[in-house]
């Protein structure tokens, strides 16, 4: 019964996540950019733009230039999160990919780095007056949700050990639309429940900023307003 309930929740959450993210990306892609507004100094070639977006996505370049402390906590959290997600791929692959096996020890302790980064970002919203003023309850709830996921995940590894073989069998079964038995460890159930909540709220929350950087005109435009006239699609239709 427990496995069936969580299976239904996971299927619903996955559907909501996929539809929500695809819908948001379509909105990003269809919003017109009527002006040439790259943040200067900006690259003058398409290759330079690609490199700039890469630095923004991987190194958070603009945040580094803006605030070193926020950059440190934010970068540590995001990079640790990627390692944790890579480590979790072992529950969805059989046989486990070679590079996933390599990141296992790093992903295990990256969870603590992720929690440290989140703690720093949360402290910023509480201790910095101007940030506290613009912080809404949803900002704190999102941070609490992420902290809960990280803490409960670490507990399943270091405090209340979970039968990871059974968990992997359950997840592989879900991918094949076969519902198996899920271990009834309270910590594991809390962890999975919080992950389900995150999957559902992700498309409608501020957390969905990751795809936005690829569609930001201040980042993805070439700085060539003198060489090439920029005409938005809707403006081109009017001229014709």
pLDDT for 201-221, tens place per residue? 999 998 888 888 898 888 888
Burial class (CB in 10 A: 0-12, 13-18, 19+), 134: exposed
Residues 6+ apart with CB under 8 A from 43: 49, 51, 52, 222, 223
Instruction: Give the model's pLDDT for residue 217.
Output: 87
Instruction: Give the model's pLDDT for residue 209.
Output: 83
List domains and CATH numbers for the chain.
Answer: 38-225 (1.20.950.20)
**CB distance 76 to 111 below 8 Å:** no
Q: For residue range 139-158, what is the model confidence (pLDDT) as tens digits?
A: 999 999 999 999 999 999 89
Instruction: Give the model's pLDDT for residue 33.
Output: 78
Cα–Cα distances in angstroms (integers) from residue 112 to residues 76, 101, 104, 118, 177, in the given order: 10, 19, 14, 10, 33
pLDDT bin (cut points 50, 70, 90) of residue 98 is very high
Average pLDDT over residues 80-88: 96
**CB distance 50 to 220 below 8 Å:** no
pLDDT bin (cut points 50, 70, 90) of residue 81 is very high
The encoded tokens of residue 18 equal 């996929």
State the pTM of this model. Answer: 0.89
User: What three-state secondary structure class fits 2?
Assistant: helix
Burial class (CB in 10 A: 0-12, 13-18, 19+), 41: exposed
**CB distance 147 to 119 below 8 Å:** yes
Determine the length of the chain: 240
Instruction: Give the model's pLDDT for residue 234.
Output: 63
Average pLDDT over residues 148-172: 93
Quick count: other Cβ atoms within 10 Å of Cβ 165?
9
Judged against a pLDDT cut of 70, whether residue 59 lies above it is answered with yes
């Amino acid at each position: 019964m427990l496995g069936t309930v969580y299976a239904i929740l996971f299927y619903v959450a996955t559907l909501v996540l996929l539809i929500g993210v695809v819908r948001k990306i379509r909105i990003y892609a269809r919003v017109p950019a009527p002006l040439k507004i790259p943040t200067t100094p900006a690259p003058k070639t398409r290759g330079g733009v690609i490199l700039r977006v890469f630095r923004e996505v991987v190194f958070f370049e603009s945040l580094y230039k803006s605030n070193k402390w926020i950059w440190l906590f934010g970068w540590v959290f995001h990079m640790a999160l990627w390692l944790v997600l890579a480590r979790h791929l072992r529950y969805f692959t059989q046989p486990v990919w070679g590079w996933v096996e390599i990141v296992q020890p790093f992903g295990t302790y990256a969870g603590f780095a992720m929690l440290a980064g989140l703690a720093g970002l949360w402290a910023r919203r509480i201790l910095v007056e101007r940030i506290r003023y613009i912080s809404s309850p949803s900002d704190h709830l999102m941070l609490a949700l992420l902290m809960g996921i990280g803490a409960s995940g670490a507990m399943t590894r270091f405090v209340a050990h979970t039968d990871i073989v059974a968990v992997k069998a359950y997840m592989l079964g879900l991918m094949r639309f076969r519902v198996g038995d899920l271990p009834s460890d309270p910590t594991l159930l809390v962890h999975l429940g919080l992950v389900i909540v995150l999957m559902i709220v992700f498309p409608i929350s501020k957390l969905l900023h990751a795809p936005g950087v690829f569609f930001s005109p201040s980042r993805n435009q070439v700085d060539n307003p003198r060489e090439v006239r920029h005409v938005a699609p809707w403006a081109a239709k009017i001229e014709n």
